[in-house]
Structure 1
Amino acid sequence: MTVTVFLGLVAAALLGLGFVAQQHVAYTEPLGEMLHVRLLFDLARKPVWLAGIALMVGGQVAGALALRRADVASVEPLLATNLIFALGAAALLYQERLGGTEWLGAVLVSGGVAAFLVAGRPHGGGMPASGSLAWIAVLVVVAVAAGMVAVALRMPLQTKAMLFAAAAGALYGLQDALTRGALLTLARGPGALFASWQPYALPVIAVTGILLNQSAFDAAPLRISLPATTATEPIVGILLGVAVFGERLRVDPPALAGEVGGLVALVAGIVVLGRSPFLHKSEQGPNGRPAAP
């Protein structure tokens, strides 16, 4: 478990740093490029953005190593701490000290993660008995993400960014679950992996999630565009871990109280950190681009 926690925190650190670098560049792109593939091609010409993607890939590799050792429900809450590392990077970037808001958010996030893991003690799990159940779960998550995007298209810019970010988080949670499934399948041999559908669905889900996330970063500052992603990913990942892989949590009343309290604290901490003035700094885009309201 100690190695899993270490790998999960390394993944969170790399993801947080990667998100800061990506948003720093994406926020300078024209709003008309949101949801267009050309946004990714334009960003791919920016070294800082590529560095952010490299950090994100590194975080995903570390997360995959953690998922190889533990259940999705154990790893997802650890990945949610990426916002703490994003906040720290912003503080260093602007050379300012963390204040009470940042410390409160950090305590809520880290305490929520600890409470959920201690109370729930996620365990068990394996490949689903039927592939149809996994397909249904994939379709449900994709449909929810698509619904959020459809609603976002009719919303003001700030709400649009939050919904894009939440849709990206849902797909990232699905990506984590698919990674867990691919690793379990790989244990049966490379032939079994390439005969399954997970390795082919993963790139599509990953690229779509990145496009939605960059569109959110393009639309609004980090304080608006990142917390929704960070909150949605672990919730979707945990639900998929339980529903698809049969992962089990303790269900006695004290455990349920601790699990619910931990998740509430986690989401509340993410919201508090998302309001940090350090993340507000990115509202000051170049060339006088106005900040989102």
Structure 2
Amino acid sequence: MICVLFAVLTALSNASASVLQRRAASEAPADGAFRLSLFAYLVRRRIWLAGIGMVAAAALFQATALATGPVALVQPIFIIELPLALLIAGLLFRVSLPPRTWVAVAAVTAGLAVALAAAAPSGGVDRASNQLWVLALIATGGFEAVLLVSAVRAHGEPRAALLGLAAACGYALTAALMKQAMASLADGPGAFFTTWQLYATAAAGVGSLFLLQNALQAGTLVASQPMLTIGDALISACYGGLLFAEDIRFGWWLAAQVLGLIAIAAGYIELARSPLASGQGVAPAEAEAGGESADRLERTTAS
């Protein structure tokens, strides 16, 4: 399916952008932090500009994937973004990945394949009614409120996990909004630029990025990353079914789906502990790049 191809290209582009931009930022003068001189330095770096180009490409690829396929199929494919970022970082920084990391990459990939094959997302429509959107937004608001209140009362790893799930919900909503905005293109540019989903996509994306940064600040990747990754996939499936009438197999197929999710979670926990994810095993000038590329560095265009 063409949507699968573009979803994979989105993950690859985002992973490449993370590594390229962080490599450029790690080489910037330390006295440029929080100053415009940092931006002035970066815009003269080809590697940073290449990263920006990959961000733009990822946005186009994701929009195309969502316009041509179910949300419940496209969003889970972005699970491979972290493994790709680590592999690319390893090549760029000339760091050999340990066997455990390779096993984790294989677990994530195999788990995703099993889960998607068992769920077999299909069908659906391109647009949801305003009534369904109202229900979805009310449910989302309530869910996010519970998560945020719980996160405020928690500390350390529990807070990171809760905020990671809140960010996942935001990214899943962003994807659903983007899908409907893209569908309005069929009615012409005027309809596209006047649909409320287009502007809600930007707002939801920025809010999700804010939640993610707080999750990363609150605790380790081991706590936030599995919640972010698996949460995005599961909540996207819910949006796909509620808003766009997408079909997912249940019954005995649920057992295979759960096994796939367990493999993904286990793989992500191991990846979050890898040398590149922690910034270890790389040169000092590259440590920040390797570590932050592994933080998945979610953008408003991703998931």
Fold match by TM threshold 0.5 = yes
Partner of 1:110: 109
Aligned mates of 1:147, 1:4 — CA distance in 2: 33
CA–CA separation in structure 1 for the residues paired with 2:6 and 2:63: 9
Change (3 A) 1:8 1:21: same
Q: For residues 204 and 57 of structure 1, what CA distance do their matches in structure 2 show?
A: 18
User: Which residue of 249, 258, 272 maps to 2:270?
Assistant: 272
2:167, 2:180 → 1: CA distance? 20
Query: Take 1:115 and 1:243, find their aligned partners in 2: how far apart are those partners?
Result: 23
State how many pairs are aligned: 274
Other-structure match for 2:298: none
TM-superposition CA deviations, 1:201-230 (whole Å, max 9, x none): 111101111222233344555555544322
Structure 2 contact 90–96 (Cα < 8 Å) conserved: yes
Work out the CA distance in 2 between the residues paired with 1:139 and 1:85.
35
Other-structure match for 1:242: 241
Cα distance, 1:72 vs structure 2:
0.9
RMSD: 3.6
- Do the aligned partners of residues 264 and 225 (structure 1) sit closer, same or farther apart at CA in structure 2, a change above 3 Å counting? closer
Partner amino acid for 1:60?
A
TM-aligned CA deviation for residue 128 of structure 1: 5.4
Pair 167,13 (structure 1): closer, same or farther in 2 beyond 3 Å: same
Q: Which residue of 1 aligns with 2:297?
A: none
Identical amino acids, percent of aligned pairs = 32
Higher mean Cα deviation, 53-62 or 199-208?
A: 53-62
Corresponding position of 1:58: 57
Q: Report the residue type matching 1:63 in the other structure.
A: Q
Contact 1:223–1:276, Cα closer than 8 Å, also in 2: no
How far off its partner does 1:231 sit? 2.6
Structure 2 equivalent of residue 182 of structure 1:
181
Change (3 A) 1:272 1:86: same
Q: Determine helix, strand or coil for the equivalent of 2:153.
A: coil
Query: Residue type matched to 1:269 in 2?
Result: G
Aligned to 1:291: none
Describe the superposition over 1:235-265 as per-residue Cα deviations: whole angstroms up to 9, x where unpaired: 2111111121100123352x33333332332
2:138 match: secondary structure: helix
Aligned mates of 1:221, 1:21 — CA distance in 2: 23
TM-fit CA distance, 1:146: 3.6
Q: Return the alpha-carbon distance in structure 2 between the equivalents of residues 106 and 179 of structure 1.
A: 29
Separation in 2, partners of 1:122, 1:128: 17
Q: Is the 8 A contact 2:165 2:231 kept in 1?
A: yes
Per-residue CA deviations over 1:117-170 (Å, capped at 9, x if unaligned) read: 322322110145632212221232233234323332333344433333332221
Q: What are the residue-to-residue correspondences of 1:131-170 with 2, within 5 Å?
A: 131-170=130-169
User: Could you say which residue in structure 2 is the equivalent of 1:12?
Assistant: 11
5+ residue gaps, structure 1, are 27-38, 287-293
Alignment of 1:92-103 (within 5 A): 92=91, 94-103=93-102
Instruction: Confirm whether residue 259 of structure 1 aligns to residue 238 of structure 2.
Output: no
Look up the equivalent residue of 2:254 and give its one-letter code: L
Cα separation, 1, equivalents of 2:21 and 2:275: 19
Please, which runs of 5 or more residues in structure 2 have no aligned partner?
27-33, 286-303
Question: Residues 233 and 216 (structure 1 numbering): CA distance in 2 closer, same or farther, change over 3 Å?
Answer: same
- Counterpart contact for 2:230–2:261, Cα < 8 Å: no
TM value normalised by structure 2: 0.74
Question: Which residue identity lines up with residue 153 of structure 1 in the other structure?
Answer: V
Query: Quick check: 2:225–2:269 contact (8 Å CA) kept in 1?
Result: no
- Measure, in 2, the Cα distance between the counterparts of 1:141 and 1:176: 13
Q: Is the 8 A contact 2:275 2:281 kept in 1?
A: no
Instruction: Give the letter aligned to residue 273 of structure 1.
Output: L
Q: Distance in 2 between matches of 1:182 and 1:200?
A: 9
What is the TM-score normalised by the length of structure 1?
0.76
* Aligned 1:31-46 pairs, distance under 5 A: none
Deviations 1:63-117 (A, max 9, x none): 1111111111111121111110122244345532222321222122111221233
Matched-pair contact (CA < 8 Å) for 1:221–1:283: no
CA displacement 1:265-288 (0-9 Å, x = unmatched): 2333222322223212279999xx
| Per-residue deviation, 1:178 | 0.9
